[in-house]
């Protein structure tokens, strides 16, 4: 049982949950994730450990509410409990000793980049973070990353920071030279575009992959990805891999396996909620505030 | 002589030996094959009391009962059958439970035809006593009357034991150790306890509430279950060893083996572990479950063991119009339980014998469309004594399918062992133990599939029982620590 201590909205669909998990807070290392199981009947879903407070025994999960399971999670309110959090899982990030690293975060991938940037900064590596979003309100974790070094913020519509994609900013950064290593996490097209730049520039690039997972311990093989022609289980051998060697087409493809199911689950969830709202007492909390909205 | 199975028996009137020998083996009542191919209800419905007592009458109460030798945990078969025959089901249950911690499970899943029933004296001249069916009957009665047959709580010893993994080996050891008064904590990687019994073996063969009831019984005995705790990540083995007086490792052999042929990462290709875990543990067979699973229309399952049979029969139940087993040897060589093969055939599963996949083919959106196989011929016997299948050149053929499940075996998962450098493992990653079940780390024992490689429920339980006795002796200082080649890092 893990109590939710705080839930803060970071962007229109991204939330930060602070959750009690003392053991994981004590031993996790950057790059690792957990499998969250909300309660009976729930899906097991992988989420990066975005931050920890070992003294308080808490971990932060930054969650994008995009489907049934993540929406159920982002609607939790302080005091709610999550049945199971398994971890920490995956191999910790291989951190360079020194030099200059560029951390590129797209969307909720920024949450995966944050612990890496923090660890790099802590050991004296110069960090430049490049993060982005559709428009200003979609940019997350900017202040946290500023504590680790320079931050270049990009918005697609130019409403904040640099106009354009993170990859344009990365191209400029690479052109300027002196980049020893790139860490990139985001949607597959973004990571593919990043290695499209760093490959020719011959800059070591680490990406964190998000294939579909079930157990997170190597027993199902559902998370298999092809890296350098070899099949790897992302949950135990990753989730971070050499981005220049990843078969992104296959990853994107495998991620789409359950698309019709995901759509149906979301529609079913919405339908339940409408029913719940019409049948609810007048002072029912607004949807999104959490309480009791879980079907 | 004919006996009406519905008519109440009067066990007081002993049958003559001739009458006894004339009794035919009772048939297990089962769900109709067509109906059950579309539901997840249990296939075998269980014997009625009349049928059970009638079958018990068939046992000859041999003075030298061979059946016991056929059972890996040496259940006193004639004894529990005699109690049953005499109508004393409570004593039958107590007798059975003193030998076998999970008889509700083994009565359903043991490969009886190659164990106890194979050597039953009556098998020599006809059909063996239906020991498995009787075991299930008595065990189910015992589970329904658990309160009546519970033993008195044990005197606490103050010793602590950690058990890693909650499959049959772990659960058996937990029960035995709790009975002896030790404080037991079971660490389980998943969110629910039971191991293969809940994530692998489907509902229609082993209802999950039966396993849950066994786990609840352990909790009532004082066993603590810590779910979502992965040893090797959440805690390391040396850490556990430090915190507990003894450790029993029963993590199974959970790593799926793929075929290593082109196209295996296409959409629609599952390991049996993933497919069965989604369906069983995550409940994807129920309407509206959060965890999705593909409902293949034309399904091919590669393999010939229990796992393959469970996968193919599950696919049928999830609506597959055709469900085919591809196996590289012949029907005779199928390693699955005979009953499962028989049931699969009844349920319309097709069998493609002497065939092995060489490639998985897909369409432009990278969904599987067919599996290319090569014909096999049986050559000379290999180390296992079975004739080795060899491909016949140029005999390739394609089987169309929209889902493929690979069920060709499992290996050991290195997650735990790689964080325990002092633990001796074989070159395949299985843990090495001595006869007592102790590993190269003093006070750390192991059993079940992680020692044997993928085996059976009853063998895993036997290991759990043996290890519990050895752990008890160790905790009382009667089992000396093994001299290890190098001094262990953790004391
Ligand atoms: C190692 C790892 C770390 C991750 N970290 C984060 C994180 O910090 N924050 C965050 O918001 N998301 C993270 N994700 C992604 C997150 O797990 C999925 O968004 C989530 O499982 C979707 O579930 P859903 O039911 O809400 O959406 P669905 O509607 O089921 O799916 C939406 C998308 O999520 C993917 N997905 C669905 N089920 C799973 C699953 N069991 N495992 C992985 N992907 C799945 C689908 O391919 C689809 O693209 C991470 C994924 C991995 C593998
Ligand atoms: C689909 C299927 C059908 C089968 N049918 C039959 C049958 O009909 N008859 C029969 O006799 N046998 C059958 N078997 C084989 C039998 O189930 C196994 O031999 C038996 O379950 C092994 O028991 P075990 O206790 O060693 O391990 P398991 O049952 O595998 O349990 C191991 C447990 O340990 C947990 N675990 C693993 N690693 C860790 C870790 N690092 N930390 C914490 N926990 C961990 C796992 O999650 C699991 O719950 C079948 C197997 C399968 C897969
Ligand atoms: S445990 Fe298995 S082998 Fe032993 S008597 Fe029972 S069914 Fe037969
Ligand atoms: S061998 Fe068969 S007949 Fe003899 S005691 Fe055992 S079960 Fe009964
Ligand atoms: S999630 Fe099952 S093996 Fe990686």
For A27-54, the pLDDT digits (tens) are 999 999 999 999 999 999 999 999 999 9
Residue range(s) of every CATH 2.40.30.10 domain in chain A: 2-89+259-272
Residues of chain A with Cβ-Cβ distance to B273 below 8 Å are: 219-221
pLDDT digits (tens, 9 = 90+) for A86-138: 999 999 999 999 999 999 999 899 999 999 999 999 999 999 999 998 899 99
In a domain, B66, yes or no: yes
Instruction: Check: CB of residue B314 under 8 Å from CB of residue B275.
Output: yes
User: Per the CB < 8 Å rule, is B256 touching A231?
Assistant: no
Q: Which of B351, B374, B408 is the last residue of a domain?
A: B408
Number of domains making up chain B:
3
For the segment B233-254, what is each residue's pLDDT rounded down to a tens digit? 999 999 999 999 999 999 999 8
Q: Residue A232 forms beta bridges with which residues?
A: A225
Pure H helices in chain A? 22-27, 68-74, 109-122, 142-146, 166-176, 188-201, 234-237, 248-255, 259-279
Which residues in chain A are contacts of B268 at CB distance < 8 A?
257
Residues 6+ apart with CB under 8 A from B206: B105, B108, B109, B197
Q: What is the spatial distance between Cα B298 and Cα A213, in angstroms, rounded to a whole number?
A: 25
For residue B362, give the H/E element and its range.
Answer: strand B355-362
**Percent of chain B topping pLDDT 70:** 95
Counting ligand 4 atoms within 8 A of each CB, the residue from B52, B62, B76, B99 with the most, and so the one to mutate, is B62
DSSP A242: E
The H or E element containing residue B84 is: helix B77-85
CA distance B290 to A186: 25
**Of the ligands numbered here, which is closest to the C-alpha atom of B168?**
2
CA pair distance B193, B237, nearest whole angstrom: 20
CA angle B406, B255, B378 (to 5 degrees): 45
Q: Quick check: is B12 in a domain?
A: no
Q: What is the pLDDT of residue B478?
A: 84
pLDDT of amino acid A261:
83
- Measured between alpha carbons, how far is B136 from B26 in angstroms, rounded to an integer? 14
Per-residue pLDDT for B2 more than 70? no
Q: Which of B121, B149, B177 is the last residue of a domain?
A: B149
The Cα of A271 is separated from the nearest Cα of chain B by a number of Å equal to 13
CA–CA gap between residue A3 and residue A27 (Å, rounded)? 19
DSSP A245: G
Q: Are B262 and B370 in contact (CB under 8 A)?
A: no
Strands (E) in B255-321, as ranges, are: 255-256, 269-271, 298-302
Ligand 2 contacts CB of residue B51 (under 6 A):
no
What average pLDDT does the structure give for chain B? Answer: 91
Both B181 and B305 in one domain: the answer is no
pLDDT at A274: 66
* Average of per-residue pLDDT values in chain A: 89
Q: Measured in angstroms, how far is the CA atom of residue B96 from the centroid of ligand 3?
A: 10
Residue A192 reports pLDDT greater than 90: yes
At the second CATH level, the architecture of A100-208 is 3-Layer(aba) Sandwich (3.40)
Q: Is B14 helix (H, G, I), strand (E, B) or coil?
A: coil
Please, which pLDDT band fits residue B379 given cuts at 50, 70 and 90? confident
* Residue of chain B nearest A224, judged by CA positions: B265
A265 has a pLDDT exceeding 90: no
> Which domain covers residue B126, as residue numbers?
17-149
3-state secondary structure (DSSP) of residue B338: helix
Q: Assign A282 a pLDDT band (cuts: 50, 70, 90).
A: very low
* In-domain check, residue B235: yes
Tokens of B200: 């692998």
**What Cα–Cα distance (Å) separates residue B433 from each residue in A7, B267, B424?**
49, 41, 8
Lowest mean per-residue pLDDT among A264-268, B93-97, B99-103, B327-331: A264-268
Predicted ipTM? 0.91
On whether both B33 and B133 belong to a single domain, the answer is yes
Q: Residue A263: pLDDT above 90?
A: no
- What pLDDT is recorded for position A279? 37
| Cα separation, B472 vs B180, whole angstroms | 8
Q: What's the pLDDT score for residue A275?
A: 59
Specify whether B208 is located in the same domain as B317.
no
Residue A289 confidence (pLDDT): 29
A133-190 residue pLDDT tens? 889 999 999 999 999 999 999 999 988 999 999 999 999 999 998 899 999 999 999 9
CATH number for the A2-89+259-272 domain, one of 3.40.50.300, 3.30.565.10, 3.90.550.10, 2.40.30.10?
Answer: 2.40.30.10
Cβ atoms of B92 and B83 within 8 Å: the answer is: yes
| Residue showing tokens 């066993």 | B223
B167 lines ligand 2 (CB under 6 A): yes
CA B20 to the chain's CA centroid: 33
C-alpha A11, offset from chain centre: 14
Give the pair of three-digit tokens for residue A271.
Answer: 């339908």
How many Å apart are CA B310 and CA B273, to the nearest integer? Answer: 11
Cis peptide before A88 (omega within 30 of 0): yes
| B248 domain residue, yes or no | yes
On whether both B391 and B270 belong to a single domain, the answer is yes
Burial tier of B334 (Cβ tally within 10 Å: 0-12, 13-18, 19+): buried
**What is the C-alpha to C-alpha distance for residues B188 and B162, in angstroms, rounded to an integer?**
11
**Contact (CB, 8 A) for A193 and A199:** no
Average pLDDT for A1-11 = 95
Please state, in angstroms and rounded to a whole number, the distance separating the CA atoms of residues B281 and B295: 17
Last residue of a domain, one of B149, B180, B211: B149
- What span, in angstroms and rounded, lies between the C-alpha atoms of A150 and A102? 10
With beta carbons less than 8 A apart as the criterion, state whether A104 and A113 touch.
yes
Report how far ligand 3's centroid is from the alpha carbon of B207 (Å).
19
Of residues B17 and B76, which shows the higher confidence score? B76
Question: Residue B33: which CATH number?
Answer: 1.10.1060.10
pLDDT in tens, B48-77: 999 999 999 999 999 999 999 999 989 999
From the CA of B481, how many Å to the nearest CA of chain A? 31
Closest CA of chain B from A251, distance in Å: 10
CATH number at residue B170: 3.50.50.60
């Amino acid at each position: 049982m893990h109590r939710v201590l705080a839930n803060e909205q970071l962007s229109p669909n991204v939330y930060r949950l602070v959750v009690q998990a003392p053991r994981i807070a004590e031993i996790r290392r950057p790059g690792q994730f957990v499998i969250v199981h909300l309660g009976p009947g729930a899906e097991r879903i992988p989420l990066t450990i975005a931050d920890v407070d070992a003294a308080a025994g808490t971990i932060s999960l930054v969650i994008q509410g995009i489907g049934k399971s993540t929406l159920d999670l982002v609607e939790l309110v302080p005091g709610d409990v999550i049945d199971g959090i398994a971890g920490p899982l995956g191999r910790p990030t291989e951190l360079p000793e020194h030099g200059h690293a560029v951390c590129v975060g797209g969307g909720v991938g920024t949450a995966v980049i944050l612990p890496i940037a923090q660890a790099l900064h802590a050991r004296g590596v110069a960090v430049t973070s490049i993060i982005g979003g559709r428009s200003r309100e979609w940019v997350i974790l900017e202040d946290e990353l500023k504590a680790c070094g320079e931050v270049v913020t990009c918005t697609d519509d130019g409403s904040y920071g640099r106009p354009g994609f993170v990859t344009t900013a990365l191209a400029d950064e690479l052109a300027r030279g002196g980049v020893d290593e790139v860490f990139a996490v985001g949607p597959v097209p973004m990571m593919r575009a990043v290695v499209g730049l760093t490959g020719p520039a011959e800059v070591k690039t680490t990406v964190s992959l998000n294939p579909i997972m079930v157990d997170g311990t190597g027993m199902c093989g559902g998370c298999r990805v092809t890296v350098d022609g070899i099949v790897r289980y992302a949950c135990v051998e990753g989730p971070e891999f050499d981005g220049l060697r990843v078969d992104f087409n296959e990853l994107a493809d495998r991620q789409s396996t359950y698309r019709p199911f995901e759509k149906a689950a979301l529609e079913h969830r919405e339908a339940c909620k409408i029913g719940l709202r019409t049948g609810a007492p007048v002072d029912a909390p607004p949807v999104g505030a959490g309480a009791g909205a879980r079907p | 002589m004919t006996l009406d199975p519905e008519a109440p028996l009067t066990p007081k009137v002993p049958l003559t030996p001739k009458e006894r020998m004339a009794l035919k083996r009772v048939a297990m009542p089962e769900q109709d094959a067509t109906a059950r191919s579309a539901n997840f209800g249990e296939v075998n419905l269980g014997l009625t009391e009349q049928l059970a007592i009638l079958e018990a009458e068939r046992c000859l109460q041999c003075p030298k009962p061979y059946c016991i030798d056929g059972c890996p945990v040496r259940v006193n078969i004639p004894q529990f059958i005699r109690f049953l025959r005499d109508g004393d089901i409570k004593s039958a249950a107590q007798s059975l439970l003193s030998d076998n911690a999970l008889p509700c499970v083994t009565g359903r899943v043991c490969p009886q035809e190659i164990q106890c029933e194979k050597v039953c004296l009556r098998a020599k001249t006809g059909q063996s006593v239906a020991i498995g069916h009787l075991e299930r009957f008595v065990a189910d009665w015992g589970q329904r009357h658990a309160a009546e047959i519970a033993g008195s709580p044990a005197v606490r010893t103050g010793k602590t034991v950690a058990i890693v993994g909650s499959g049959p080996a772990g659960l058996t050891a937990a029960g035995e150790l709790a009975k002896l008064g030790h404080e037991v904590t079971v660490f389980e990687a998943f969110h629910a306890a039971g191991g293969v019994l809940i994530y692998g073996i489907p509902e229609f063969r082993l209802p999950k509430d039966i396993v849950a009831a066994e786990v609840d019984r352990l909790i009532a005995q004082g066993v603590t279950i810590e779910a979502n705790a992965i040893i090797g990540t959440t805690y390391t083995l040396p850490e556990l060893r430090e915190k507990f007086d003894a450790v029993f490792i029963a993590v199974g052999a959970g790593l799926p083996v793929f075929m290593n042929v082109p196209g295996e990462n296409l959409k629609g290709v599952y390991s049996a572990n993933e497919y069965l875990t989604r369906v069983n543990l995550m409940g994807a067979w129920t309407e509206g479950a959060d965890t999705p699973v593909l409902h293949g229309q034309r399904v091919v399952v590669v393999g010939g063991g229990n796992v393959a049979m469970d996968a193919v029969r599950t696919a049928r139940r999830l609506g597959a119009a055709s469900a085919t087993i591809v196996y590289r040897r012949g029907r005779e060589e199928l390693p699955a339980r005979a009953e499962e093969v028989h049931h699969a055939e009844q349920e319309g599963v097709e069998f493609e014998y002497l065939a092995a996949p060489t490639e998985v083919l897909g369409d432009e959106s990278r969904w599987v469309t067919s599996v290319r196989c090569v014909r096999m011929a049986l050559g000379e016997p290999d180390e296992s004594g079975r004739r080795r299948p060899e491909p016949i050149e140029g005999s390739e053929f394609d089987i169309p399918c929209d889902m493929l499940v690979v069920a060709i075996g499992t290996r050991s998962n290195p997650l735990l062992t790689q964080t325990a450098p002092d633990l001796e493992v074989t070159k395949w990653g299985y843990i090495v133990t001595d006869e007592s079940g102790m590993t190269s780390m003093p006070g750390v024992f192991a059993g079940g599939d992680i020692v044997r490689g993928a085996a059976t429920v009853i063998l895993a339980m036997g290991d759990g029982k043996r290890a519990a006795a050895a752990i008890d002796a160790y905790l009382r200082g009667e089992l000396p620590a093994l001299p290890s080649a190098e001094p262990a890092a953790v004391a």
